[in-house]
């Protein structure tokens, strides 16, 4: 795509037409998926016999989880290029982040998913740019491409973001929508995350007047970048002043690329230095560094919400805009209401990128015993559902594990709010606490820390069943030294803030033990990130695991080895 080919109004008009008849788009999409892949072994064995209508599809094809499709995917990974899940052989595999289950999943990937990605990017940019226009400048994008590798069967494998970033269509689309990264490719594709981060920051400062917005896939990556800036800003100023890259960057390709951008500029160095010195506790850091930036953009819902308070501190008056809704398995919806605060962000389902179904949850937010998924047009406003997706890359009636709430309709396509992952996060017997419940509990207790001008840097949880009765363990990394009295009160607050009836009653009768707050050393969650990067994860795709199970033994070991203090709640004594 050439730059002049992007037409904002045309993209919006196409989206309007598509969503006015979402039912027809869904039927055509399913028909196309089944026509393309009708020869696949998986579909042949289910007896579809070439039928492509939704009724036959639902009658023949079961709703599945990753576990049921894993044997088929493994054959593909191992090099079987027959028509297993798709008509044409799968050549590329995506790896999920691995933070939910403790290990990455293999997910089939093909050009159809790239096309869907570009459609989402163009659509959301058109709506975003209509609300907050940006000039023809650059973007400070904290994007990192982990290494691709070859599977046993010779397929190219990498994280979903890596597979996108390394595709030529990605670059042309980003160029077309004025989202050129200010960093050279050598930085994006560098082998060392820490060196790439340093150079992303340096490139942003060099092009500070041209930066139109700040982006990373997840809010966590943006926050991590500016926490790092607090530690290295003087070194960055030295590089700019002298025009010589720090010795901490050792990768030859990155050094060569950066030498072409870096020239001695003492005036710029002094300006940045004085701006940093003039800030109070780094409030408004981002607009101070990049005076023409219009917004900060990235996925800010779900497990990213705990980072919003600190990100707003760095952002000052700059708005935070939540990016689109997708997963390693594919995209779901675009944010066409970009001015909504991230906590209220909704996503309009794009009805031609996959076939969508929705498993209704009952009044206790549990699925019915025999779930009968609804179609895209059958969902009801105010109700919660688990998403089921059928895509062009070989996933059929695949449970994503995401729970969403229908907040309304954009024309005839539903608008969804992400609620949580469907798998229960914390449970010992009759208690059922989700990731959202954990987040609210941590937020309540963190308010006590705020009185000492401290904050929770990051957190996770664990259900300890090694003794009777079992209990919840919450791990906190705190920004400074909190007093024992405050931390003890925090443990009580955490315990009392879980309002699930099953938890409260179990605590009262002592069938669940006292909640334990364990404070870990500064840098512990960086060690967890480094662990996942060592497994091949990309930092752009990293999400802190909010619950660490016994099967995730290495992460649990990192946490336990770095505990400095622990406190048991006395809230139910």
pLDDT, position 396: 96
Lowest mean pLDDT, pick from 158-172, 281-295, 368-382: 158-172
**Mean predicted confidence (pLDDT) in 368-383:** 85
pLDDT greater than 70 at residue 178: no
pLDDT, position 1: 34
Residue 363: which pLDDT band, with cuts at 50, 70 and 90? low
d(CA 29, CA 52): 10
**Mean predicted confidence (pLDDT) in 337-357:** 95
pLDDT, position 105: 83
More confident residue, 192 or 157: 192
d(CA 390, CA 439): 31
pLDDT greater than 60 at residue 8: yes
More confident residue, 72 or 434: 72
Portion of the chain with pLDDT greater than 90, in percent: 66
**Mean predicted confidence (pLDDT) in 137-146:** 86
**Mean predicted confidence (pLDDT) in 473-497:** 95
pLDDT greater than 90 at residue 458: yes
Q: DSSP states of 370-412 as a string?
A: S--PEEGGG--TT-EEEEEEE-TTS--SEEEEEEEEEEEEETT
> What letters, b where the CB count within 10 A reaches 16 and e where it falls short, cover 467-478?
eebbbbbbbbbb
**Mean predicted confidence (pLDDT) in 19-34:** 96
Residue 434: which pLDDT band, with cuts at 50, 70 and 90? confident
pLDDT greater than 50 at residue 450: yes
d(CA 65, CA 329): 12
Lowest mean pLDDT, pick from 157-166, 213-222, 419-428: 157-166
pLDDT, position 179: 63
pLDDT, position 524: 96
Q: Rounded to the nearest 5°, which phi and psi values hold at 189?
A: -100, 15
Q: What is the mean pLDDT of the chain?
A: 89
Residue 257: which pLDDT band, with cuts at 50, 70 and 90? very high
d(CA 225, CA 227): 6
Question: Any idea which residue has 């039928």 for tokens?
Answer: 51
**Mean predicted confidence (pLDDT) in 215-229:** 92
Distance (Å) of CA 162 to CA 172, 448, 452:
16, 40, 41
pLDDT greater than 50 at residue 402: yes
pLDDT, position 103: 65
Strands 374-375 and 347-349: unpaired
- Length of the chain, please? 573
pLDDT greater than 50 at residue 507: yes
pLDDT greater than 70 at residue 565: yes
Lowest mean pLDDT, pick from 104-113, 457-466, 535-544, 556-565: 535-544
Q: DSSP states of 95-113 as a string?
A: E---TTTSSPPEEEE-HHH
**Mean predicted confidence (pLDDT) in 126-134:** 92
Strand-pair partners of 404: 385, 418
Which DSSP symbol is given to 264? -
């Amino acid at each position: 795509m050439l730059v002049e080919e992007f037409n904002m109004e045309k993209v919006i008009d196409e989206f309007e037409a598509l969503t006015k008849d979402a039912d027809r788009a869904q039927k055509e999409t399913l028909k196309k998926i089944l026509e393309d892949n009708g020869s696949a072994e998986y579909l042949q064995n289910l007896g579809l016999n070439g039928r492509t209508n939704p009724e036959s599809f639902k009658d023949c094809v079961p709703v599945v989880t990753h576990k049921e499709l894993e044997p088929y995917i493994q054959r593909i990974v191992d090099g079987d290029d027959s028509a297993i899940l798709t008509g044409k052989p799968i050549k590329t595999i995506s790896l999920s982040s691995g933070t939910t289950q403790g290990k990455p999943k293999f997910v089939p990937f093909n050009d159809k998913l790239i096309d869907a990605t570009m459609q989402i990017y163009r659509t959301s940019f058109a709506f975003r740019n209509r609300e907050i226009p940006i000039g023809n400048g650059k973007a400070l994008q904290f994007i990192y491409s982990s290494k691709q590798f070859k599977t046993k069967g010779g397929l190219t494998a990498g994280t979903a973001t890596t597979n996108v970033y390394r595709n030529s269509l990605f670059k042309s689309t980003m160029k077309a929508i004025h989202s050129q990264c200010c960093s050279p490719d050598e930085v994006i594709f560098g082998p060392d995350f820490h060196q790439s981060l340093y150079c992303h920051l340096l490139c942003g400062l060099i092009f500070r007047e041209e930066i139109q917005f700040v982006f990373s896939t997840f809010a966590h990556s943006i926050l991590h970048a500016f926490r790092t800036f607090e530690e290295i800003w003087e070194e960055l100023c030295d590089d700019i002043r002298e025009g010589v890259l720090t010795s901490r960057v050792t990768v030859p390709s990155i050094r060569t690329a950066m030498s072409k951008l870096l020239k001695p500029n003492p005036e710029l160095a002094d300006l940045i230095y004085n701006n940093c010195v003039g800030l109070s506790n780094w409030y408004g850091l981002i607009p101070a560094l990049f005076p023409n930036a219009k917004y900060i953009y990235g996925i800010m819902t779900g497990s990213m919400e705990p980072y919003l308070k600190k990100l707003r501190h760095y952002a000052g008056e700059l708005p935070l805009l939540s990016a689109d809704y997708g997963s390693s398995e594919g995209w779901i919806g675009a944010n066409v209401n970009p001015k909504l605060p991230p906590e209220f962000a909704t996503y309009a389902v794009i009805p031609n990128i996959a076939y969508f179904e929705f498993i209704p949850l009952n009044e206790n937010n549990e699925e019915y015993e025999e779930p009968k998924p609804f179609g895209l047009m059958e969902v009801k406003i105010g109700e919660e559902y688990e998403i089921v997706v059928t895509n062009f890359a070989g996933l059929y009636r695949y449970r994503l594990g995401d729970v969403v709430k229908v907040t309304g309709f954009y024309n005839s396509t539903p608008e969804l709010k992400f609620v949580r992952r469907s798998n229960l996060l914390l449970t010992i017997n009759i208690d059922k606490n989700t990731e959202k419940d954990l987040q609210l509990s941590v937020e309540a207790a963190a308010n006590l820390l705020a009185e000492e001008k401290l904050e929770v840097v990051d957190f996770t949880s664990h259900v300890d069943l090694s003794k009777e009765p079992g209990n919840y363990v919450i791990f906190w990394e705190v920004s400074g030294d909190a007093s024992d009295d405050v931390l003890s009160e925090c443990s009580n607050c955490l315990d009392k803030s879980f309002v699930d009836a099953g938890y409260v009653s179990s605590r009262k009768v002592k069938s669940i033990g006292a909640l334990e707050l364990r404070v870990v050393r500064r840098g512990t969650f960086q060690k967890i990130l480094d662990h996942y990067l060592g497994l091949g994860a990309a930092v752009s795709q990293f999400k802190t695991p909010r619950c660490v199970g016994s099967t995730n033994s290495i992460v649990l070991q990192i946490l336990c080895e770095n505990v400095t203090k622990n406190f048991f709640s006395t809230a139910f004594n």
